[in-house]
Amino acid sequence: MMGSQGKDWRNLPNMITLGRLAIAFLLFVMLTLEIRGWGIIGDRHLALNLAALAFILCVTTDFIDGYLARRWKMVTVFGRLADSFVDKIVICGTLIYLVHLTPELIRPWFVAIIVAREFLVSGIRSYMESQGIEFGARIGGKIKMVLQSMLIPAVMLKQANASSGIYPWILGSLDVVMEILFWGTLITTLWSAADYIMVAIRSGQQKQNSA
């Protein structure tokens, strides 16, 4: 039963993935409204706080759809492509907005490295799989995703509530956390890019030797 469902792209995990795309649209709407000055109540930036919650929801549903797809054997080609596409939209899109909203925290060069890595890995994966070589996710990429998923909402919550006077000790501790997450994200991004390149080279050489 589960095997037949796994061949149908209209299964629950894939619907959750598409729902995550809708949440991403809401996230970008909130960030756009924040840029235009909507949702500021006193020193509290409502739109940015809502955007942070939307981002956290995107990350949570990303874990859920992947878990269900594996658990119920509903992994499909559409699901793999859609999940990767939505992940890139959410992460890269949000970081691009944050360059404008939090220029002192998220710098253009940082976002350029993140986006370049995503294009590089996507290109390598597409080429390798077109050659019949399986090219799954690597541990470095998974760690990078976790760190990014923590850094982005931390930056938004810090920016939204920095002048609100709400729990200043919590906001103060976010500075240290963001510093660790920032450099951790940068290092794992570069590491995972190099790792994917090396794996692709080794896999290509092994295929040539076995031909």
Closest CA to 149 of 71, 60, 75: 60
| Cα gap 31→132, rounded to integer Å | 41
Instruction: Report the residue count for the chain.
Output: 211
The residues, ordered by sequence, that sit 6+ positions from 161 with a Cβ below 8 Å of its Cβ are 44, 45, 49, 171
Q: Alpha-carbon torsion 201, 206, 209, 211, what sign?
A: negative
**pTM, full prediction:** 0.87
Q: Which domains does the chain have, with CATH numbers?
A: 2-206 (1.20.120)
Residue 168: its pLDDT value, please? 63
Nearest-angstrom CA–CA distance, 50 and 39: 9
What's CA 92's distance to the chain center, in Å? 7
pLDDT for the residue numbered 125: 85
Q: How many helices (H) and strands (E) does the chain have?
A: 7, 2
Per-residue pLDDT in tens (0 to 9) along the chain, 211 residues? 344 444 567 788 889 999 999 999 999 999 999 998 887 777 778 999 999 999 999 999 988 888 888 888 888 878 888 888 999 999 999 999 999 999 988 999 999 999 999 999 989 988 887 887 777 778 999 999 999 999 999 999 988 888 766 666 666 788 889 999 999 999 999 999 999 999 989 888 887 777 6
Report the C-alpha gap between 84 and 87 in whole angstroms.
Answer: 5
Contact residues for 39 (Cβ-Cβ < 8 A; gap 6+): 30, 33, 45, 46, 47, 48, 50
Q: CB of 72 within 8 A of CB of 6?
A: yes
